[in-house]
């Protein structure tokens, strides 16, 4: 599979995840309307192609497989604890910081994203793909897209 095909597949998977999130949010709103009771309606009558898997799993080139799980170890670990090479991402100081500013190159284009969750940032930093590279991570006091104050440079 060519890299352009892999990128398109990853884009479609991200779109699929966003739609699943919308469905989950709708079901949660229905649950709230019903007073917090279990969701009493049947599953949608659509069978997903991914529900009937055949053959060996697809593993795109350039993306590392997940680390093998230890079935006997039930303790929760953070991604940084699993990978000693991962840079330490400090939590935001609520007094002076409210976001992480991430500058990255995606398909040759420089983009900026603002994140508030350190775990999401760790997941983003763990991505290994030829068309994606994080170039800078800073903690900032964010007010608007073009109005922020850098507090610390993290990467």
Distances from the Cα of 71 to the Cαs of 67, 81, 119, in angstroms?
12, 17, 23
Q: How far apart are CA 33 and CA 29, in angstroms?
A: 6
Q: What is the pLDDT of residue 57?
A: 58
Does 79 fall in a domain?
no
Provide the number of structural domains found in the chain: 2
Q: What is the pLDDT of residue 19?
A: 85
Which two structure tokens, joined as six digits, stand for 42?
């049947």
Does 76 fall in a domain?
no
For 8-17, what is each residue's pLDDT tens digit?
888 888 888 8
Domain range holding 91?
85-155
Strand order from edge to edge, sheet including 109-115: 109-115, 99-106, 132-144, 147-153
Does 66 fall in a domain?
no
For 73-123, what is each residue's pLDDT tens digit?
544 444 444 444 556 888 888 888 989 999 988 888 888 888 888 888 888
| Among 35-49, 121-135, 138-152, the least confident range | 35-49
Q: Does residue 155 register a pLDDT over 80?
A: yes
Q: In the Cβ-directed half-sphere of 45, how many Cα atoms lie within 13 Å?
A: 0
Does 18 fall in a domain?
yes
């Amino acid at each position: 599979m060519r890299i352009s095909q892999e990128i398109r597949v990853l884009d479609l998977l991200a779109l699929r995840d966003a739609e699943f999130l919308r469905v989950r949010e709708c079901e949660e709103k229905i649950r709230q309307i019903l007073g917090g009771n279990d969701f009493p309606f049947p599953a949608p009558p659509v069978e997903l192609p991914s529900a009937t898997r055949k053959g060996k799993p697809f593993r795109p080139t350039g993306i590392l497989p997940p680390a093998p799980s230890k079935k006997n170890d039930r303790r929760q670990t953070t991604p940084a604890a699993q990978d000693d090479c991962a840079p330490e991402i400090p939590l935001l100081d609520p007094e002076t910081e409210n976001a992480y500013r991430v500058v990255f190159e995606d398909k040759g284009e420089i983009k900026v994203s603002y994140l508030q969750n350190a775990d999401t940032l760790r997941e983003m930093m763990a991505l290994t793909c030829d068309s994606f590279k994080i170039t800078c991570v800073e903690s900032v006091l964010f007010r608007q897209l073009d109005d922020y104050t850098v507090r610390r440079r993290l990467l």
